[in-house]
C-alpha cells in the first residue's frame, strides 16, 4: 500500500510539472503600441485573426479589428495601437485587436526630398543617405547588403517583359530576381527619361526575404513626384485588357503588384494572393 501511495504521488508530480510547462506566459495588459509588417493570414474557421504582424521576418501576432479596415495596410510597415488577447486555441499566436493603425510614423521613417530626381520618399530613419547629382543611395545602418539606389537615366521605352505597376501616378515596371531577392523598378518620366530604383535585400531568400520585400513596397508607396506632369489613365498601365469585366487593375500575387494611390488590393484568390484594385471609400 505504501508503495502504491508513493507511485501515485510520483505520477501526480509528473502531471503537475507537465501542466506547469504548458502554462502560457501572461499577456501585457492595456493598450499596446506594436510595429511590424502587416500581411494577410490564411483563412481559418477556428483561429482568430485576419492578418498577421511580422517582426524581423518572424510572425509575432495575429491581427483583427471590427472597426478598422486592416486590408488597406497590407504589405506595409505600420504601428498598431491596440490590445492583446488569447487566440483560439490559446497555443496559437496572440491576437492584437486593432484600435488604430499608424502607417510610417515619423519615429520610424524620415522623409527625403531629392530635387534633382523631382521626388520625395520615406525611408527608415536609421538608414544612411547620400545624394550625388541625379543618384541617391540609402543603406541600412549596420547592414552589409541592404541598399536602395535611385538613378535618373535615359530610356526610349519601358521593357515589356516585366510586371506593370504604378508609382505615385506614373507608369512603371517591376522585376524580381528570385535567386537573390534583388528588385528593380523603372518609372517612365516621359521625354525619354526614366527613374531606375534598385533594391538589394539584407540576405538571400528565404532569410528575412519577406520583411525586406514588404519594406521595399512601403518605400515605393511613399514616393511622391514633385515635378508636375500629365497624369495618365489606369488603363495605360498595360496594353492587355482587364481579366474581369467588373474592372480594376490586377494586383498582389507573388510579385506584390501595387495599386495606384487611394486604391487598395482586394484579394479575390487567397491561394495566390491575387486581387483587383478598388477605390478607397471617401470620408463623409
Lowest mean pLDDT among 10-14, 100-104, 114-118, 180-184: 10-14
pTM, two decimal places: 0.49
Over residues 118-156, the pLDDT tens digits come to 999 998 877 889 999 899 999 986 645 789 999 999 887
For the stretch 157-181, pLDDT in tens is 777 778 888 898 898 999 988 888 8
Chain length of the chain: 284
Cell of 30: 492595456
What's the CATH class of domain 110-240? alpha beta
Where in the chain are the domains?
32-103, 110-240
Q: Which residues contact 22 (CB under 8 A, 6 or more apart)?
A: none
Instruction: Cite the beta strand spans of the chain per DSSP E.
Output: 32-40, 51-55, 58-64, 77-85, 95-103, 109-114, 119-124, 128-132, 135-139, 147-154, 163-167, 170-176, 183-190, 193-200, 224-225, 250-252, 263-269, 274-279
Amino acid at each position: 500500500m505504501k508503495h502504491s501511495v508513493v507511485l501515485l504521488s510520483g505520477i501526480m508530480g509528473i502531471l503537475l510539472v507537465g501542466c506547469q510547462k504548458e502554462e502560457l506566459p501572461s499577456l501585457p495588459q492595456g493598450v499596446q503600441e506594436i510595429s511590424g509588417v502587416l500581411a494577410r493570414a490564411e483563412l481559418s474557421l477556428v483561429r482568430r485573426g485576419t492578418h498577421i504582424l511580422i517582426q524581423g521576418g518572424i510572425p509575432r501576432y495575429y491581427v483583427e479589428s471590427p472597426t478598422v479596415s486592416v486590408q488597406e495596410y497590407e504589405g506595409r510597415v505600420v504601428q498598431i495601437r491596440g490590445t492583446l488577447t488569447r487566440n483560439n486555441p490559446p497555443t496559437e499566436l496572440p491576437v492584437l485587436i486593432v484600435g488604430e493603425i499608424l502607417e510610417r510614423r515619423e519615429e520610424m521613417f524620415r522623409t527625403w526630398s531629392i530635387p534633382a530626381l523631382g521626388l520625395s520618399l520615406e525611408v527608415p530613419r536609421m538608414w544612411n543617405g547620400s545624394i550625388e547629382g541625379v543618384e541617391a543611395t540609402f543603406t541600412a545602418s549596420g547592414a552589409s547588403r541592404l541598399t536602395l539606389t535611385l538613378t535618373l537615366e535615359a530610356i526610349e521605352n519601358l521593357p515589356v517583359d516585366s510586371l506593370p505597376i504604378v508609382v505615385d501616378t506614373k507608369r512603371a515596371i517591376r522585376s524580381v530576381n528570385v535567386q537573390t531577392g534583388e528588385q528593380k523598378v523603372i518609372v517612365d518620366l516621359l521625354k525619354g527619361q526614366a527613374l531606375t530604383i534598385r533594391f538589394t535585400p539584407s540576405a538571400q531568400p528565404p532569410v528575412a526575404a519577406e520583411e525586406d520585400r514588404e519594406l521595399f513596397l512601403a518605400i515605393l508607396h511613399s514616393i511622391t513626384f514633385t515635378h508636375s506632369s500629365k497624369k495618365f489613365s489606369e488603363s495605360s498601365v498595360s496594353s492587355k485588357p482587364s481579366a474581369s469585366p467588373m474592372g480594376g487593375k490586377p494586383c498582389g500575387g507573388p510579385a506584390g503588384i501595387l495599386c495606384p494611390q487611394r486604391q487598395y488590393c482586394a484579394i479575390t484568390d487567397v491561394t495566390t494572393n491575387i486581387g483587383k484594385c478598388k477605390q478607397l471609400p471617401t470620408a463623409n
